[in-house]
Every structure is written in structure tokens, then in C-alpha cells.
């Protein structure tokens, strides 16, 4: 679960913003340039991807692309 394993998504409220921190390791040999971060969620019991809800509350794709650019230099 998010928040260091203490706050499962089943406890989240509609409209709530949940802040969580992760460290990403960029593999050696990754191509230089700007990259986007795509994030998805999984069911803890089956590890199956779950759909992300859109602003109308309708299921969409199984991931979102965060509004952040990761820059990898040469």
C-alpha cells in the first residue's frame, strides 16, 4: 500500500490527494533526452492492473502519465 505501506487505496476518499515518495533508479544505458513518467496501480490480492478513473469517474486506461519530465543527460 502507499504511504510506506500504511494507507491502502481502499481507505482513500473521493477527491483526496495522497502524497507518497519513491526513489527511481534509471538503468545504465538509458537513452539521453526527456522522458515521461507513467504510473499504474495493481490489486494487492491478484497483482492485476486496475483502470484509472477519469475526471467524470469513468474507468479509463490502466495508467496515467504524470506531468513531470525526467531528463537524462549523455
Burial of 35 (0-12, 13-18, 19+ CB in 10 A): middle
Asked if residue 74 has pLDDT above 90, the reply is no
Look up the pTM and report it.
0.61
Measured at the CA of 12, the angle between CA 55 and CA 35, to 5 degrees, comes to: 55
> Could you report the per-residue pLDDT of 32-60, keeping only the tens digit for each?
999 888 999 888 889 999 898 888 888 88
Element (DSSP H or E) covering residue 5: helix 2-5
In the chain, domain spans: 19-72
Amino acid at each position: 500500500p502507499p504511504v510506506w505501506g500504511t494507507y491502502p487505496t481502499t481507505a482513500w476518499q473521493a477527491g483526496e490527494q495522497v502524497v507518497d515518495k519513491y526513489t527511481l533508479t534509471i538503468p545504465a544505458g538509458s537513452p539521453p533526452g526527456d522522458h515521461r513518467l507513467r504510473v499504474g496501480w495493481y490489486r494487492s490480492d491478484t497483482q492485476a492492473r486496475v483502470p484509472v478513473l477519469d475526471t467524470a469517474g469513468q474507468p479509463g486506461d490502466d495508467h496515467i502519465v504524470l506531468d513531470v519530465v525526467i531528463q537524462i543527460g549523455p
